[in-house]
Amino acid sequence: MKKQIALAFFLAATFSAQAQQGGISSEMLNQIKKSYQNSASDKAIRNALGTNSIDQLAVNQENLANFDTHFTYKVKSIGITNQKSSGRCWLFTGMNVLRAQMINQYKLDGMEFSQNYVFFYDQLEKANLFLQGIIDTAKKPMEDRTVDWLFQHPLSDGGTFTGVADLIQKYGLVPAAVMPETYASNNTSKMRSLIGLKLKEFGLQLREAVAKGAKTSAIQQQKTEMLGTVYRMLAINLGEPVQHFTWALKDGEPKEYTPVQFYKEFLGNDLTNDYVLLMNDPSREYYKCYEIDYDRHVYDGHNWIYVNLPIEEIKEIAIASIKDNTSMYFSCDVGKFIDRERGLLDVKNFDYESLMGTTFGMDKKQRIQTYASMSSHAMTLMAVDLDKNGKSKKWMVENSWGMTGYKGHLIMTDEWFNEYMFRLVAQKKYVPAKVQELLKQKPILLPAWDPMFSQDN
């Protein structure tokens, strides 16, 4: 008995010593405390931070002079949109690219498409994507990484250009007045969370049906009934999508359209095959084609498949497109170094290093690898300012936050563009043949939970 007690004390002491080797000991804590000098400047900063935000105190006063708002080339667009309290930037951006095309082609005074119409089908299709994904993985354990990811992400209002392409080509477009916004479309969180909660419940029921050996046809019928519940939840929040409507172009004769007929007559782009998806991700090999699993909106649609290129080559493509009066889907890590009031994205906006007394030395590759930076918001790239050698100095995007920033736009320095730009979608005619050849590669499949990839919102 004494030996057992002694052994227990020995093991406890050993574990305690091991814990102390990696924990903060009293000696280590004293050493840490001594490194803080509590100088007069530290006291002043601490007092200031007691009643002010870090960004307010980190503002770089030397960078507050009026900045140049002239651009060498700018795509014409009329009217600023507002996604309000929703994650639909990807949808607003895709539609802003298309409306700029229609405004320029038909010399319109303005044009806006119904985001609510496409968003209804986006949510219905994503619900189906989740439920079918649950069926496809039903024989895997709940702790399987894909199953776990699906249940963590049953529904979102974020997205990418592939969603714009698949949804519009399947369901068409309607003018904004035909299916206007509702409170729920402008404030998506509660509706999304309730539908997501119901989808998780449905997911468990589908897994149980598969485990009990239900026939495929019976499971598909069960899924269809579940989607009927989702459809009703969407309809009472967003309104039911129109099937026919009457509309006239300028002073022309009013004509009846289906949403698909309207899209084909006035736009008709092959959004899947006429565009190339580009990425600047220095954490992965350039000149390779990649695909993100489950990074789509429609089950039988397309994952995000892109070519990874150096930033300078992406700039050349963007400049060629803007010169030809064609805007682009663009996404970035918008929250970094943003001066929202002025609408300026500039790495010199805030001096966090002087305020905090340390440096922040990670480069773009390291920020991606550590989840410190990723694409978070989509906007419409529509202007560039060039120097005498044709090199970019700054860029401008049309945003979807209403009349905030610079007249509803954001202006970014070229240095900021290098550090925080990630995705660009350009028409093929602006993409060099050697880059298009890369699309013939078999894409390298990356998992849905890859650190680089979240939906733009």
In a domain, 373, yes or no: yes
From 153, 302, 377, 409, the catalytic residue: 377
* CATH classification at residue 321: 3.90.70.10
The whole-number average pLDDT for the span 257-284 is 96
pLDDT, tens digit, for every residue of 131-189? 999 999 999 999 999 999 999 999 999 999 999 999 999 999 999 999 999 999 999 99
pLDDT at residue 20 in the model: 53
In a domain, 171, yes or no: yes
Kindly write down the DSSP assignment for every residue of 347-364, as one continuous string: TTSB-HHHHHTS-----H
Q: Determine how β-strand 377-386 pairs with β-strand 328-332.
A: antiparallel
C-alpha–C-alpha distance, residues 109 and 372, integer Å: 42
In a domain, 161, yes or no: yes
Mean predicted lDDT score pLDDT of the chain: 94
From 280, 303, 308, 399, the catalytic residue: 399
Residues with Cβ within 8 Å of 43's Cβ and at least 6 positions away in sequence, in order, are: none
pLDDT at residue 13 in the model: 56
Residue 450 confidence class, pLDDT cut points 50, 70, 90: confident
In a domain, 16, yes or no: no
Residue 279 pLDDT more than 60? yes
Are 289 and 437 in contact by the 8 Å Cβ rule? The answer is no
The question of whether 289 is a catalytic residue gets the answer no
pLDDT at residue 19 in the model: 52
pLDDT at residue 12 in the model: 55
In a domain, 54, yes or no: no
Structural domain span for residue 306: 73-446
The number of domains in the chain is 1
pLDDT, tens digit, for every residue of 294-325? 999 999 999 999 999 999 999 999 999 999 99
pLDDT at residue 252 in the model: 85
Q: How far apart are the first and last CA of the chain?
A: 65
In a domain, 310, yes or no: yes
Are 309 and 287 in contact by the 8 Å Cβ rule? The answer is yes
Residue 218 pLDDT more than 80? yes
Angle between helices 216-238 and 189-211 (to 10 degrees): 170
From 89, 116, 297, 302, the catalytic residue: 89
Residue 457 confidence class, pLDDT cut points 50, 70, 90: confident
In a domain, 97, yes or no: yes
Residue 451 pLDDT more than 90? no
In a domain, 401, yes or no: yes
Which two structure tokens, joined as six digits, stand for 65? 């002079």
Angle between helices 161-171 and 115-136 (to 10 degrees): 100
pLDDT, tens digit, for every residue of 392-448? 999 999 999 999 999 999 999 999 999 999 999 999 999 999 999 999 999 999 999
pLDDT at residue 296 in the model: 95
pLDDT at residue 456 in the model: 78
Cα–Cα distance list, 129 to 90, 300, 308 (Å): 18, 9, 26
* Backbone region of residue 172 per phi and psi (left: phi > 0; alpha: psi in -120 to 50; beta: other values): left
